[in-house]
Amino acid sequence: MIIEIKEWLAEAAGYIRVSLTNQLTVSQKSGRTDLVTNIDEEIQSFFIKKINQHYPNDRILAEEKGFNTIDSFAGRVWIIDPIDGTMNFVMEQENFCIMIAVYEEGVGQLGFIYDVMKEELYWGGKNYGVFLNERKLPQPKDVTLSEGLIGMNAYMYRKNIYSAGEIGHASMGIRVSGCAGVELIAMLKGNHIGYISNLSPWDYAAGLVLINEFGFKYSNIEGKPLAFDKREYFLAATPAAYTQIQEKFIQ
Ligand code: IPD
Ligand code: CA
Ligand code: CA
Ligand code: CA
């Protein structure tokens, strides 16, 4: 299964890179800053077709139309964000990812975050470790809040939602990438100690499999398990920073 998924990802990423030489069709979803392109939809359809061909009994949850709700997490479930960071895709033509996760009975088994323009695939699985392309990554250090950079959602920071402003101030500084995949990669590399945002299941499903391998802690921002069926405020961090954030700023 891993080899197949990697082949699909390589094909999809190649298609996306070529698509950047053509005119994109861009539409608004909920508003001016919530975009979807023909490529988001085509890439989602590409993966759905592959999964249906090879694993016809599996369930699929994916961001774009037709697949963004699921009735059950029983059995094997694929969770797909065809392009994470659509705004970056449209405006920057970089700093966006394809994200795929495979869950079984609600437990994450495999996670893939592909930074398409850098051609960097972060992937791994339960009890399997985390890899960047073919190289196994070392576990990042358990750094405290005051010692590291933290990825943040700009709106939460600006409005100080759940003390995001104060948490940022207590850290070495905030970083805002506009792409959940890029933020989770920064944690896997040990560049950021955590990430605070407002996310849907396809934004975090793949990343959780990977950060879990490295012992990062994660939950909704109030410390409850992530629901996987709605958008919610999200916190992931090193164990040391997670505890500090929960004890000092949230509770
Ligand atoms: C978005 C990005 C962004 C995050 C949003 C997500 P999309 O995903 O990951 O960084 O702040 O909450 O919705 O819509 O570009 O796939
Ligand atoms: Ca979107
Ligand atoms: Ca996303
Ligand atoms: Ca998306």
Q: Which atom of ligand 1 is nearest to the CA of 35?
A: 14
Position 133 scores a pLDDT of 98
Position 112 scores a pLDDT of 98
Token pair 């699909």 in the structure block, residue = 8
172 with 152, same domain: the answer is: yes
Q: Using one digit for the tens of pLDDT, what is the confidence trace for 118-174?
A: 999 999 999 899 999 999 999 999 999 999 999 999 999 999 999 999 999 999 999
- Ligand 1 pocket: which of 32, 84, 221 to mutate (most atoms within 8 A of CB): 84
Distances (CA, A) of 75 to 40, 58, 97, 107: 26, 7, 26, 10
Q: Using one digit for the tens of pLDDT, what is the confidence trace for 198-219?
A: 999 999 999 999 999 999 999 9
Give residue 192's pLDDT band: very low, low, confident or very high (50, 70, 90). Answer: very high
Position 251 scores a pLDDT of 80
Position 92 scores a pLDDT of 97
Give residue 35's pLDDT band: very low, low, confident or very high (50, 70, 90). Answer: very high
Position 127 scores a pLDDT of 87
The CATH code of the domain that includes 232 is 3.40.190.80
Q: What is the ipTM of this complex?
A: 0.97
Residues with beta carbon inside 6 Å of ligand 1?
63, 81, 84-86, 153, 178-180, 197-199, 203
Question: Which domain covers residue 71, as residue numbers?
Answer: 2-136
127 with 187, same domain: the answer is: no
Tell me if 7 sits within 8 A of 14, measured CB to CB: no
192 with 228, same domain: the answer is: yes
148 Cβ contact partners less than 8 Å away, ≥ 6 residues apart: 171, 172, 192, 193, 194, 238, 241
Pick from 119, 136, 153: which residue ends a domain? 136
187 with 239, same domain: the answer is: yes
Question: Which bound ligand lies closest to the C-alpha atom of 35?
Answer: 2
The backbone torsions φ and ψ at residue 72, rounded to the nearest 5 degrees and listed phi first, read -160, 150
Pick from 136, 156, 177: which residue ends a domain? 136
The CATH code of the domain that includes 52 is 3.30.540.10
Give the count of domains, the chain. Answer: 2
Atom 6 (ligand 1) nearest CA: 199
**Is 63 labeled as ligand-binding?**
yes
Q: Using one digit for the tens of pLDDT, what is the confidence trace for 66-122?
A: 999 999 999 999 999 999 999 999 999 999 999 999 999 999 999 999 999 999 999
At 11, list the tokens: 């094909």
